[in-house]
Amino acid sequence: MSTITALKLSNAKRPANLPPIVVRRNKLATKLWDQIQLAQSQAAGQHFQPTRLRTVRDAETGLNKTIQVPRRIKPWWWSSDTGQVCVSVRYGSKVLELARGKAAIEVSDAQDLIRTLEAVKAAVIAGELDAQIQAASGALRSGFKK
């Protein structure tokens, strides 16, 4: 019993769920991780194909089984008319406006693209884009209301 008494005990409780903005931040950070991995694999000349689990019914036995299927990731970057690579940050189908009237970031090459995506991910985790995420989330939710 002396081991337990040596520990600092507390009556703290684990929260039932995370605040909505933290859930949205984590969702966007996960999508940014996918984009970083896609950019790194393209820079290395490799193919990045993440998978997800899907439950399907087996035609022969009639039992459900879980299989891995490839997940399609569309790159958030493109080449502009000036030859620069532009990248926009998306939350669902909405493009986030990073500054007033500006929704894209110009980068020079693939390595700069990776650094930029990592910087945006750090900004998302730090909460710097919470207002933009909240606005995009509201716009997406309003499309589902009747």
| Predicted local confidence at residue 1, as pLDDT | 58
Helix or strand run (H / E) with residue 21: helix 20-43
Which residue, 26, 25, 32, is CA-closest to 105? 32
Q: Is pLDDT at 111 greater than 90 in this prediction?
A: no
The answer to whether 62 touches 74, Cβ cutoff 8 Å, is no
In angstroms, rounded to a whole number, what is the distance separating the alpha carbons of residues 27 and 130? 12
**pLDDT of 48-94, one tens digit each?**
999 999 999 988 888 999 999 999 999 999 998 888 899 999 998 89
- pLDDT tens per residue, range 8-58: 888 888 878 888 999 999 999 999 999 999 999 999 999 999 999 999 998
Burial class of residue 55 in the structure, from the number of CB atoms within 10 Å of its CB (0-12 exposed, 13-18 middle, 19+ buried): exposed
Where do the structural domains in the chain lie, given as residue ranges?
19-142
pTM attached to this predicted model: 0.80
